[in-house]
A = this chain, B = another copy of it.
Amino acid sequence: MASTDKPADPETGKEVLPPKGASYEATPPPPKAVDLFAVDVALRFLVFAASLTSVLVIVTSKQTVFQGPLPLEAKFNHSPAFIYFVVALSVAGLYGILTTVASLSVTWKPIFSTKLLLHFAFWDVLILGLVASATGTAGGVAYIGYKGNEHVQWRKVCSIFDKYCKHIAGSLASSLFASVLLVLLVWLSTFSLHRKIPK
């Protein structure tokens, strides 16, 4: 900060202009660091948005089909895999909005930035593991619902419950997007830490 203030002559109190060609290259440029945090805030908000979308789309997937004597119902909580998925993505959404606020606060008080970057990188990795495994779990079950498995005679479900399967596919796409965002976030934190190391 001090380097951007123009030095004042102690006697006259007037600003002293630096000599032409004076080098200020050694000072790290602060605006770029703030830009990276702006990207961080944006990515974190997108994680929140993607997780929320994912949860809302799968929770509203309920479908009732009238086929045969009794109505058939499909709900996300008929499968433990989808319940795990909803829990994991809810945690990711909550984490997304909390860290958006935390990251925003850093743009105002840059003094915490290094320590916060470290904490972010630690937690982001855990949430990434959670979201990736949940996407895999739900995806594996959804694939059986879509294609069936004739080796063990598990029949297709999506030929009957079309709306239900579309919701699950949409929800999976959204959670896959959230996983990619979390990878980008860990990369950003690591890269930001790396930038701070003197060459």
Residues of A within 8 A of B (CB): 74, 78-81, 114, 117-118, 121-122, 125-126, 128-129, 132-141, 143-145, 147, 149, 151-155, 157, 179, 183, 186-187, 189-191, 193-194, 196-198
Contacts and interface: CB of A to CB of B under 8 A. Distances in A.
Contacts of A79: 149, 151
A114 B195 CA distance: 11
Nearest to A149: B79
Contact of A144 (B128, B135, B154): B154
A178 to B, nearest CB: 11
Contacts of A138: 136, 140
Given A193-B190, A198-B198, A183 B149 contact: no
Q: Interface residues of A: mostly helix, strand, loop or mixed?
A: helix
Contacts of A193: 190, 193-194, 197
19 contacts: A79-B149, A80-B143, A118-B191, A118-B194, A121-B186, A122-B190, A128-B132, A129-B183, A132-B133, A133-B133, A133-B139, A137-B137, A137-B139, A137-B140, A144-B144, A144-B154, A189-B190, A193-B193, A196-B197
